[in-house]
Amino acid sequence: MTAAEVFSRLPVDGRDIAVRTLPGAAPGLFWLGGFKSDMTGTKAEALAGWAAANGRANVRFDYSGHGASGGAFEDGTISHWLEEAVAVFDRATTGPQVVVGSSMGGWIALLLARLLAARGHTRVKALVLVAPAPDFTEALMWERFPPPVRGLIETTGRFLKPSLYGEEPYVITRSLIEDGRRHLLLGAPFAVGCPVRILQGARDEDVPWEHAMRLVTCLAQDDVVFTLVKDGDHRLSRPEDIERLLAAVAACAIPA
């Protein structure tokens, strides 16, 4: 945590959400982490450091069931996590924001921007997405699960999916899969009403670069720049990857 950050807890429909807020000038940065990630990861910390060094506001939080927030991970759904993102954005940020989303956070960022645009809000100045994973519960999980795994989810309500990162298995629930279908984006063109910058690793085993390209084709009305990192993996957390991320953010946030 940087010296000027303020830690707080925000209630969202009975869920206890941990938030870190750094005061500063606009455009601020609004971080949306990935599936089973928290707000103290390498990219989130680098963005907070950039914001502090440049006098910019920065807000990051943990979804319910993640990090310092309350709740159980397996109770989470895309609807819950989107609701939390909207609540934190509405209540913890002011003025224009550059929304930065990683993996699942990219899906949440797109849903957030589309929702705010439908409200007539123009506070999302740009989206910077790292290995964005819209529709991942369907396209990257359900459609790839073999029949025995699908049957297990349908009959028991859960499946322990091994992690590629040596962590505990992910609990994939029937509620997560079914709720994800309410928020699918990649079946037709849609607009978020702001510039979109995408950083994607060509060696990403979790979110293949072809999946991110499907997103590009759906954003026909928006200003989109897609950067493919040929030797990059899913996390894109190496020093050179962080430099690319901060450069993309700076280009969107400066001048104010």
Cα(25)–Cα(187) distance, rounded to whole angstroms?
38
Catalytic residue numbers?
A: 103, 204, 234
How many CB atoms neighbour CB 160 within 10 A? 11
Pull the structure tokens for residue 157. 């309500």
Report how many helices (DSSP H) and strands (DSSP E) the chain contains, helices first: 7, 10
Cα(24)–Cα(27) distance, rounded to whole angstroms?
9
DSSP H or E segment with residue 12: strand 6-12
Cα(85)–Cα(146) distance, rounded to whole angstroms?
32
Instruction: For helices 239-253 and 42-53, give the axis angle rounded to 10 degrees.
Output: 50
